[in-house]
Chains A and B, each alone.
Chain A
C-alpha cells in the first residue's frame, strides 16, 4: 500500500512538471522525423564541426530561443512584448550602419573587402545592444510608469520600430561583409557559435532570476500584484527592469539574425518572430496571465516551434502550407495545458489505486 501511494505520487509529480508537455511535444515531432524522414538524425563531421538536421534546428532556433528568454520574464509579470521583432530590426540596422555608413550619404557602396569595417566590432555590438536596451526601457516606462496596457504599449514600438530601423539606414539595405561580424551567426566551434550565445544568455538570466530574489518577485507580481505591493515589492522598478532586459535579448537576437543573412534588412529581420517567441513561452507552460515560469521549458518551447518548421521543410511541405501545420501542432500542445485534459492524463494513474485498495 505504501509503495502504491508512492507510485501515484511520482506519476502526479511527472504530470505536474512544467517540462513534461514541452518535452513530450518535442519528442513526438522528433519521432515523426525519425520514422518518416530518412537521414534526419544523421550527423556528419566537417572540419571537426558537427552538421546535420538536428544541429540546424538548434542553429535556426537560436534567435527565437534568445527572444523567448526575455519574453518569459515579461509574460511572467503578466505582460507581453510585441515589439521584439522590430527591436531586432533596429539593432540590425544600427550594427549595419556602423560597419558600412555609406548608406547615409545616399550612395550604395558595395564593400567586398571582408576585413573592412567603419567601427571596430566591440563598438558595433555595444551600440546596437545599447539602442535595443533603450527600446526595452521605453516599453518598460510606458508599461510600469505610464500604466499603459502592455499589449498596447509595445504595439507602438512594434509598428514604428521598422520605420525607425529604415530611417537609421536611410531606407537602404546594408550589406554586411565584415567577416568577424558574420561569425556571430555563421561561426562554428564544433556546434554553431550562436548556440554558445544562447547558452550564455540563458545562464546569465538563470543566475539573475534564480540566484537573486528577482525571479520570485517577478512571479509574485505576476500572480498577485496587489499582495506584492502590500509586501513591499517595487512592482514598477521590477517591470521596467524586465522590459529593458527583454529589449536587450531582442538586440542580441537581431545581431545573430543579421549576421546570419549578412544584411540589415529592416523589413524582414525578425518579422513575426515576436509571435514565435510568445508561443515558445506558452508551450513552455508559463501562463499568459503571469506567474510561475521556467526558462528551460521556454527553451524547449522554442525548439518545438523550430523543429516543426524544420521537419516540414525536410518532409517537403510547401512553405505556404507551413503556417497552417504549425498552427495545428501549436493547438495540440496548448490543448495539453487545459485543466480538462490534464485531469484526464492524471486519471491514467488513478485507476491503479482503486484496483488494488
Chain B
C-alpha cells in the first residue's frame, strides 16, 4: 500500500471483434499496485475477453497495454505469466487425472539426478497449499477426486505459486466456493494485496464486490461504463449501472411465487422410495409434484448433484425404487429419462452441457433429436424454427442460430442448454446450478422462468449454492447433508432455519 496511486497496469482503447460480435469496443482499465479491482458486468459484457487479451489468449484488434509503464503485447498465457500476469479462470483448467501436487508444480517440479523428486515435490505442494489456502489435503490424490471447490483452490494455489506474479486475475473463482472457503480466499487476497500484488477480481456476487474491492470497473455490452471507488457507490447504483435498469423486478419474485404456489397439484409426477446408490447417496425418498419447485439445499458435496444424477439416470441406483406417473421405472439412463420426460440441466456446463463446436441450433435440438432417434431427422426449417423460438424466448445473445456455441459467453451458453431441455417439453426439469456464473439480471430471468414452468404443470428441482436464490425460487426445500436427506421444509422458511439444518448438530 506504499504507493497507492502507482499504476502497474494501464489498458487503453482495447477493441476486439469476433465473428458477428464486437466483444470489446474501446475499453480502458487501470490497475494500481496493491489494490483489488472488481471487474463487473452482465454476461457477454466483455469481462472474460478483456482478461483474455491481457493474458495473451486473444489478441486485441487495437489498443495498447502498458505494464509498469512499458508497452507489452502478451503473445500467450505463458508469455503473460513470464511477464508477471497470472490467471485463475472461471472454469477449472487443470488436469483432473494428475495428482494435486503435479497440478500445482507442473513445469517446475523439483528434480533430483535429472528425474522428478516425488517426495520433495509432494511435500512442497502440500506445504504450499496449506500455507495459501489454510487447509490441508492429500496432494498425491488425482485432482479429479476432489470437489470443484478444492479444484478451484488448487488452481489458485498454482497461479499464486508463480512467485513473480505482480498481477493476479481471478475470473469468478468464488462461484463454486461456499462461505467459509470464500472467506479463506479473501484472506489470501488481502495478504497478497499487502504484498503489493494488483488483483483483478471478476465475480457476480454483489456482496463480495463490496466486501473485498477498492475500485470497481463496470462493462456493459463490450463498452466501458465507468470505474468507481467502491466506497462512493451504493449497491443499487452499481447494479443499475451493470444492467441499465433497476431491481424493482427482483422484488416481484415473492409475489410471483405466492401466485404460482396455488397451482401445485397433489399428484406426484415422480416419486422415489429409499432410492440410493451405496457410496454415493444414502436412500432417499422424495416426491415431486406437478406445479412445484423443490429446492435442494446443502453444501458442496452434500449429495445435491448426486441426487440429480440418479434421478436423471446418469448413475444407476442400486437400491430402492422410483415411480414415474405411478408406474415403476426400471430403465435408468439419460435417454430413457428423456423419453419419460425428465430433463437435467447439469452443473458442469463445459464438460457435460455444451458441445462447443456445434452451432447454437444443433445444441438446442440435440436432446430432442436424441429422443426422436437416428432417422426421424428434424428438417432444416423445423430446426431453425425451434432454435429461433428459444433464442428469442430466452434472449440468447447470438448473431445467428448458426454461430458455434463456443463463441457465446458463459451465461448465453447456459441459456442454450436450458433451451435444449425446454425443447423436449419435460414433465420434470432438474436444474443443477442453472445460474452459476450468470449476471444478476439473467439470474432473475431464470428464476422467474422456473416458476412459470412450474405453473404450466411441470415439476422442477432447483439446485443452487446460493441460499437466497433457493429460498426465493422454491416452494419446498429439501436439505441434504453428507449425502443424506436431513430435513424438508415447505411454505415460508427463514434462511437461518435452513442454514441450521445444513450445518447440523455441529452448528
Contact = CB atoms under 8 A, between A and B. Distances in A.
Interface of A: 12, 211-214, 216-217, 219-220, 223-224, 226-234, 291-292
B338 A232 contact: yes
B306 to A, nearest CB: 15
Given A220-B355, A233-B335, 7 more contacts: A212-B377, A213-B373, A217-B370, A217-B374, A223-B357, A232-B335, A233-B370
Contacts of A228: 355, 366
B335 A230 contact: no
Contacts of B376: 213
Which of B373, B374, B375 is the most central at the interface, judged by chain A CB atoms within 10 Å of its CB? B374
B19 A12 contact: yes
Given A227-B353, A227-B354, A230-B353, A220 B377 contact: no
A231 B377 contact: no
Contacts of B375: 212-213
Contact of A223 (B339, B353, B355, B371): B355
Given A227-B351, A231-B334, A232-B335, A213 B356 contact: no
Interface of B: 19, 314, 334-335, 337-339, 344, 346, 351-358, 362, 366-367, 369-378, 420
B380 to A, nearest CB: 11
A143 to B, nearest CB: 19
Contacts of B420: 231
Contacts of A223: 355-358
A213 B314 CA distance: 23
Contact of B352 (A12, A226, A232, A292): A226
B19 A224 contact: no
12 contacts: A214-B374, A216-B369, A217-B369, A217-B370, A226-B352, A227-B351, A227-B352, A227-B353, A228-B366, A230-B352, A231-B366, A232-B339
B374 A213 contact: yes
Contacts of A291: 357
A292 B377 contact: no
B379 to A, nearest CB: 10
A213 B377 contact: yes
A224 B377 contact: no
Which of the listed residues A224, A227, A228, A291 has the most CB atoms from chain B within 10 Å of its own CB? A227
B422 to A, nearest CB: 13
Contacts of B335: 232-234
B370 A232 contact: yes
Contacts of A219: 355, 357-358
Contacts of B346: 230
B334 A212 contact: no
Contacts of B370: 213, 217, 231-234
Given A232-B367, A233-B370, A227 B377 contact: no
Which 4 pairs across A and B sit closest by C-beta, in order of nearness? A232-B370, A232-B335, A232-B338, A231-B367
A220 B358 contact: yes
Contacts, number: 77
B355 A227 contact: yes
B113 to A, nearest CB: 33
Nearest to A226: B352
Contacts of A220: 355, 358, 362, 366
A231 B369 CA distance: 9
Nearest to A353: B61
Which of A219, A228, A230 is packed against the most chain B CB atoms within 10 Å?
Answer: A230
A211 B334 contact: no
Nearest to A216: B362
- In this complex, the member of B314, B351, B357, B367 whose beta carbon has the largest number of chain A beta carbons within 10 angstroms is B357
A234 B362 CA distance: 17
A226 B351 contact: yes
A228 B333 CA distance: 12
Contacts of A229: 314, 334, 352
B401 to A, nearest CB: 14
Contact of B357 (A213, A226, A234, A292): A292
B445 to A, nearest CB: 23
Given A223-B357, A227-B352, A230-B353, A212 B362 contact: no
Nearest to B383: A216
A289 to B, nearest CB: 11
B354 A211 contact: no
Contacts of A211: 377
A220 B353 CA distance: 11
Nearest to B334: A232
Contacts of B358: 216, 219-220, 223
Contact of B374 (A212, A224, A230): A212
A96 B264 CA distance: 72
B396 to A, nearest CB: 18
B375 to A, nearest CB: 5
Contacts of A214: 374
Nearest to A229: B334
Nearest to B371: A232
Nearest to A16: B19
Nearest to A234: B335
A13 to B, nearest CB: 9
Nearest to A13: B19
A43 to B, nearest CB: 39
Contacts of A233: 335, 366, 370
Nearest to B372: A213
Contacts of B367: 231-232
Nearest to A210: B377
Contacts of A12: 19
Contacts of B372: 213
A291 B357 CA distance: 7
A213 B369 contact: yes
Contacts of A227: 351-355
Contacts of B374: 212-214, 217
Contacts of A213: 369-370, 372-378
Nearest to B375: A212
Given A212-B374, A213-B375, A213-B377, A230 B314 contact: yes
Nearest to A5: B17
